[in-house]
Chains A and B, each alone.
Chain A
């Protein structure tokens, strides 16, 4: 059945690297090595021989917030182009080196980063180190390939935004929630901006952002560390660090001054309502308490929103919340798809009531403990695989600026108290910091609601 998925648009892959030690559970620590080449490439590695495979990731610190002017969606389109011809590889050769030997590759782009990843049998590690170095050192894409891949991305837009009944809702929630910051441009972009993109844009983007000092290489799995170091030195070290500076987004999103209310129409049969609040960036200490608050609101059927709106009042078919802290800002989203015959105003009121309860009284010790247990178990599940471990390490290194946080975030989350949760709910969930979006069926517009 249809799921209510904010994640598709707000972060391709939601890296919930939340953690907490439970007295009875051994929480495996990730023992990683950390070095930086003279050209600025950071290399993080975890040797782990539990299966004869290896996970390789390259994180580029560039995301859709860095899309060029009038090129919304470009960082993501570019990610697709990175699988076309490079300096020494012809189109789709990355698939030959991974998929054809029983591995896989993929990549994702979100607001802040672009991440390429492969998992292969470990005897192919050197091959993949070569391949990742090759596409960092240069692209060689022709116009036909560029256009055909752009068509693929337009189909991805249709499939994620236009076809699903609530695809456009989440697109709009992000687009309308930021006034100044480029986060107002959803990662997938727009068809017209994609159509305007050219091959020259591709070369410019590569030379601007795809450089060793803007990249982090992560390798987790079955390898010998000395041998891996020698391969990294052989293939990555010769890539020069450009002398020009790296552009960074410096726009600050201004605080909201008053509530914004919007109504939009779509091809959904059941109305929906979404609320957004500007919160804070991921590295802010408040982010931990917001993460716990999010779990209390929507993790599982015992969560506040599910229990109130879906179970008790039966006003909603689906609820969702997402703390969604990004590198430069945070956008907390709370929403509901209504049950048949229910009023969107009533659903809004119920959502606000649940928010107010968290502001008015501290959560109980048991409820706090439950949220933390849920967050730890999520983390254990994420880290079942080498690829998952590498994602957790990349998030700590690139988005939080410190790979050690892959292990120490545990303590931070453990330290969150009921008073912290209440404090962040009061601080950010104010009337003037709210955007309310009603997403109604097109049919209700004609009929006059």
Chain B
């Protein structure tokens, strides 16, 4: 039996039933946001941005899960797996490496955050190094990365809704309406609302992915069932990676290890955990989640090669939309799978929204606490919370406008530029938390040099490729960061204070 299919010209998959489900789902998020507002215990920053530091294992695990896996996972990763084949399995270990990064600093950071009342990553940096310029630099890098993250995911959201509605809902309308909804439930209950909505989003995400994976096994016979077509259409994906590709593989693991573990919203979940035991168990389970998420979406992309060969060629569809083509094909050939297809599309929407709302909340907290508060140190918590909501509204409006204006950058490239920058924060956190002799001036010098180098290389400023010798610009930047930090640390005697 030939599995070949042609990329559909319209992806109007959901129909009235699916549209109803998605509208119901989005409305339920507003209701949960209101419940989060009702559960508010006090008008404090810790209550708004950290849910009162009371997240239990169920909520914490699902909010970590829903936040870590985003629209990039469901569309960007699948598209990349379509283009790179089995090589993209590096993404599975890379997502595990993120938890490896947390091992280095989360246990101690959690204890310190409860003792000293940290709200943002900048609070730890300020407490540890006492250098305002370094704190602001860390906050600005975090804000840049999160802004980028929201931009990427809003783009995914807009494209997705436009596609699955067959163009009935335009990209711009989807971005604006969903941005307003995300802002609304976030402003109502802060992290409590965001984490509670993440529970629903995490469950939909996991059930949707597992359900589609099972359907792929029955429908196409899994990977063994499509291996003949794979060999015929893309024989090169069977070959082991070249030496340079293996170096890039390792570089990907490093950039995830040092970059994604520095996401401000992930660090804030370390602060928000009810206890160390809850956090430890959540991370231990999270270490295995890539097997049930990333691995399955990579398989989806590879099977897409067999079912939709020749995407990205003239007149064919885009590989970034192979997820949608596969779902459409499953539903077309087996109409009984329509509810599963709708659930999976709901999962993509859920994953994307849960990532955006968390990033928005973290961005708002950093602007309010790390930048505004030092200028107005006499502000009350109630005033700062209000400022945080105003900042969220401005940010959401600004990023939504940018997303609509910048539609033609590819999803994966945006994600890489963001991680290049985030990596540079890692020495301040991972080494700063354990090395008492590490000084603020050396960390600051390293961070500036590392960031300049990473951004310059990423944009090919030195007429070098963006990945010299197969290594990401962020990893080169991190190497320069550590080297400069070490030199300044050694050249300036420890007895000298800033």
Physical interaction between A and B: no
